[in-house]
Amino acid sequence: MKYQTADQLRSSFLEFFRSKGHTVLPSASLVPIDDPTLLWINSGVATLKPYFSGQQVPPNPRLANSQKSIRTNDIENVGRTARHHTLFEMLGNFSIGEYFKDEAIHWAWEYLTQVVGFAPTSLWISVHPEDDEALSIWREKVGVPAERIVKLTDNFWDIGPGPCGPNSEIYFDRGSSFGCGNLNCAPGCDCERYLEVWNLVFSQYNHNEDNTYTPLPRKNIDTGMGLERLASVVQGVDTNYGTDLFMPYIRHVEQLTGHSYRENRMAMNVIADHVRAVSFAIADGAVPSNEGRGYVIRRLLRRAVRFGGQLGLKRPFLGEMVPLVTHVMAEAYPELGEKQDYVARIVRREEERFLETLDEGTQLFLSLARELAAAGQKELSGAQAFRLYDTFGFPLDLTTDLAREHGLTVDSAGFAAAMEEQRQRARSARQDVGSDFGKVNHFAALPPTRFVGLDTTGGTGRLVGLLVDGKPDTALHAGEKGALLLDCTPFYAESGGQVGDRGVIRFKGGEFRVDDTQKYFGDFYLHIGQLTKGILTVGDELLAEADSSFRHALARAHTATHLLHAALRRILGSHVQQAGSLVEADRLRFDFSHFAALTREELAAIEEEVNSQILAALQVESAYMSIEDAKASGATALFGEKYGSEVRVVSMGEAARELCGGTHLDNTSAVGLCLLLGEGGIGAGLRRIEAVTGKEAYLYAKGRLTLLDSLAGTLKTRPEEAERRLEDVLLQSREAAKEAERLHSKLAALEAGDFVTSALDVAGIKVVARQVQAKDIDTLRSAADAVRDKLRSGVVVLGAVHEDKVALISMVSDDLLSRGLHAGNLIREVAKMTGGGGGGKPTMAQAGGKDPGRLPEALNAVASLVAAQLKM
C-alpha cells in the first residue's frame, strides 16, 4: 500500500462514489441550520436528516460527502489517546431508499482494496449475529474467509425511536506487535491490534415508541469512515497525530518552544487538535462566549493555552497558527483563507483575555491542592472547581486536567450543581412559550401558499384554512381573532429579518384586518388579525390588499440593509458576515461579525458610503439563477443558510449583490436618506448597528436640528457656533470646579487644624472623630488625609452623609499599630451602629451605613472603641 496524503484520500473517496452515480455534497457548516437538537454537526449524516426523514427531496438518492464534524463529549481524552479528536472529517456514502447492503458492502471493499490499496488479507469484518444477509454477502459474494468475519452483538445502530438497523464494520489488522497476545484476539478485543476503519449502517427497521421494531418501507444506507484514522493506516503511523493532518502543527510548536514532540506528546497533541477545531468553528460563524457552542470554543482555546504554558509559551501563540490551518486544509476548504484574518484576531483576543488570569488561577489551584494533600483528601470539591471557573475562567475540563496531573479527582456533579445555581440566579423571568400555533401542522395535506407579492401589494385568493386559538376551524365571526390561510397571497410573511406585511382582506359582506403575516411550517403564510365585520368561511373568495405605505417603508429599510452590508465589507473587510437582521418600517437592525468596536471615523465612513449609493440612484434588479451561478456572480449569501437549487439574487448596480427573498425598491434613490443611530457589541466577535431610513430618517434629522437650535438659543449663539460656544462653557465650568476644589482643600486644611486642636485624648493617644461635608468617599478621604497629616500620631474617624447614605473612613498612624489599634476593626464597629459594614487595612479603612440619624451617636462612641482596642 503506497503512501497517500489526506487530501489524496479525501479526493479519491469522493471521486470513487461520484463514479458510482452519487452526488457529492460539499461539507456543511459546523453550526447546524434548522436543527435545534444539535450543538454542532457531529457526523456525515447529521446534515442529511431532512432527506432521510422525508421532509425534503434529495438532489439524488445516492449521496456522498466529506463532512467536517465536532464532538466534545470527551475533551479530557483529546491529546491523551491516539485517536480522540474534537474536529474530524467523516467520509460517507448514503443511499436514501435506493441501493442497500449488496452495493454498500461491495463498494466499500472495492474502494479499500482497489483504490486505496489495502491487502485483502489485512482486513477483518464484523457483523450482527442475526444479520445473515450481510454475512452472506461478505462470505459468498466478496469472498472474505469465515475466519476473518466476527459476529458482535453491539453491531446494531439504534439511538431510540426512529430508523435503526444492524451495521457491519471493516477493521485493519495492524499486526501482532499491537495485540494483547491472546490466541483468540479478534475485532471486538480491547487491544490496539484491530483498528476499525469503516462503519456501514443498514437502516432497515423503525424503532417504535412502544420499543417494538418494524421493517422500514424504504431501506437506507449510512456509512462513515474517519479521514484521520484512514490516513494513519495508509501513512503507516501509530496515531492520528502522526499524519499530515496534524504533524505540521506539531512541528510548528516544536520550533516555537524548542521542546521535542517525543517528550511532550499530550501538550502538542492538544494544541494541534484544538487549533484546528477553533479555526473551523469560528470560520463557520461561532464565536467564543459563556454559552452553548461559544463556550465549547472558549474551553478548547483555554485548554490549548494552558498546555502551551506548560511548554513555556506565556504569550498568545494560537492566533499565529491560524494561517497554518488555512494552508494545511486549503485544498478541501479554500474558504478558510477568506476568514483567516478574522479568525486569527478572534483567537488572539481570547488568548490575551485568558492569559491575564491563567497564572492567578493556577496558583489558586496549587494552593487548594496543597490543602487537600495536608488533609489527606483526593477530591477537589464542586464549589472549589466552580470558584476556578467563575473567578479565573477555568473550564471544568482544564481543572480536571490539572487535578489529574496532581493525582486528584474533581466533583463534577458538585460543579454542575454550582453552575446550575448560578444560572438560576441569572436567568430572567421570561418563559419560552413556543409557537402560538402549536407544533402540529394542521395544513400538511394542502399545497404550499403561492406568494405573488414581490411586485404588487394586491391580489385575489381563496380561504383554504383557518386557525382560531391555534386550532383549525371553518368559520370566523365579526370581532373574533384568527389566522387565515390563503391559496395565494400578496402579503409577505416574516422571514429573512423582514417583518410580515399588514393590511386588509375583503370579501363579500365583510373585512378582516391583518396585523401580521407569519410563515407556518415554512411553506404556509398565515394572515393574523381580527375580523371587523361579516362572517368568513373556509372556501370564500377574497381580495387581499397589503398596506402599500407600510410595504414601501419596509422596502426602503431592506434596500438600505443591503447597502449597509456591502459598505461594512468594503470598509471593515471581507471577514464581515451577517449574523442577523431586523427590517421594520423605515428602521433596521443589522448584526455582523467583527472583532472590535467601530470608531467614529469608521461609522462616519460607512454612513457616507451608504448614502452615496442612495444618491447614485442605482437600479435595483432581481434575477433567479442556480446557487453556483449566484456565487460565481459575487453574490453574498447569508452564512450557513441552506438554499435550494435556484435562488433569487438582488443587485444594486455594482454596489451590492445578495441572495434575498425579501421586498425591495426599484431604485436606491427611493431610500431617501439612511442615518446610523448607533453601534455596539452583542457578544464576543459580534456587533450591531441600528439605522433609520426614509421618513424615520427625516424625523430623526429634524429632531436633531431642532435640538441644536434650542441648544444654540440657550447658549445665546448661532447653531453653527454652538459647538465652540459649548466648549467655552465647559472650559469655564472645569476651571470653576478646580477653583472650588482649591478652596475646599484650603477649608479642609483649616478644619483639620481645628479638629487637631480639639482632639480627644485616650490613654495619651489623640483621637479625632467628626462629621464633615463630603460629596463622595474620595473627598472624605482627602479630608482624613489632611487631619492625619496635621495630627502626625493618632486616630482619625470622619463621617459624612450624602444622598441619605453614610460614608465613613478611619486612619491609624503607623506608630500605634503595636498598641493593638486597627483601622479596619475600628471602622467595622462604627459602621454597625449606622446599619452598615466595612473594613480594611490596619492603617486605613472605609465603610458605609444606611441610617444617617445614628451617625453622631456612632462618632461619639469612637473614643470608647479605641479604648477597647487598647484593652483599657
Q: What pLDDT, in 10s, does the model give residues 73-89?
A: 888 889 989 989 999 99
Q: Give percent above pLDDT 70 in the chain.
A: 96
Q: What is the average pLDDT across 538-566?
A: 96
| SS3 state of residue 286 | coil
pLDDT computed for residue 641 by the predictor: 62
What percentage of residues in the chain have a pLDDT greater than 90? 64
CATH number of 6-242: 3.30.930.10
Question: For 618-626, what is the mean pLDDT?
Answer: 94
Q: Checking DSSP bridges between strand 488-489 and strand 450-451, what pairing results, if any?
A: parallel
Lowest mean pLDDT of 91-100, 517-526, 626-635, name the range: 626-635
Residue 495 CB-density burial (10 A; 0-12 exposed, 13-18 middle, 19+ buried): middle
Decide if pLDDT at 435 tops 50: no
pLDDT tens-digit map of 27-59: 999 988 767 678 899 988 888 888 887 778 889
Nine-digit cell at 448? 404550499
Burial class from Cβ neighbours inside 10 Å (0-12, 13-18, 19+) for residue 258 reads: exposed
The answer, yes or no, to whether residue 231 has pLDDT greater than 90, is yes
450-546: same fold as 6-242?
Answer: no
Q: Tell me the per-residue pLDDT of 242-298, one tens digit each, with 9 for 90 and over.
A: 999 999 999 999 999 999 999 999 999 999 999 999 999 999 888 888 778 888 999
pLDDT bucket at 434, cuts 50 / 70 / 90:
very low
Alpha carbon of 855 to those of 260, 364, 754, 782, 835: distances in Å?
Answer: 68, 40, 20, 20, 10
More confident residue, 436 or 748: 748
Instruction: Give the separation between CA 485 and CA 491, rounded to whole angstroms.
Output: 11
| Mean pLDDT of all residues belonging to the chain | 90
Instruction: State mean pLDDT over 139-143.
Output: 96
Residue 202 in grid coordinates: 443498514
Separation in Å, CA 489 to CA 378, 463, 517, 544, 550: 69, 10, 10, 7, 16
d(C-alpha 691, C-alpha 797), whole Å:
54
> What fold is seen in the domain 551-702?
Threonyl-tRNA Synthetase; Chain A, domain 2 (3.30.980)
The CB-side HSE value for 534 (13 A sphere, CA atoms) comes to 15
Residue 437: the pLDDT is 55
Second CATH level (architecture) for the domain 450-546? Beta Barrel (2.40)
Question: Model confidence at 422, in pLDDT bands (50, 70, 90)?
Answer: confident
Amino acid at 493: A
Q: What is the CATH number of domain 748-869?
A: 3.10.310.40
User: What residue ranges do the domains of the chain occupy?
Assistant: 6-242, 247-426, 450-546, 551-702, 748-869
pLDDT at 409: 93
Q: Residue 427 above 70 pLDDT? A: no
Between 838 and 427, the more confident residue is 838
Contact status, residue 748 vs residue 786, Cβ threshold 8 Å: yes
**Backbone φ, ψ for residue 691 (5° rounding):** -150, 165
3-class secondary structure per residue, 243-260: CCCCHHHHHHHHHHHCCC
pLDDT at 756: 86
Contacts 24+ apart (CB under 8 A), 516-522: 517/489, 517/491, 517/492, 517/493, 518/483, 518/493, 518/494, 519/493, 519/494, 519/495, 520/437, 520/441, 520/443, 520/483, 520/485, 521/441, 521/443, 521/444
- pLDDT tens across 328-345, in order? 999 999 889 988 998 999
Residue 684 phi/psi, 5-degree rounding, is: -60, 120
Alpha-carbon distance 459 to 753, whole Å?
A: 89
What pLDDT is stored for residue 431 in this prediction? Answer: 31
Phi then psi for 215, rounded to 5 degrees? -65, 140
Query: Who wins on pLDDT, 429 or 514?
Result: 514
pLDDT bin (cut points 50, 70, 90) of residue 871 is: low
The C-alpha atoms of residue 642 and residue 214 are separated, in whole angstroms, by 33
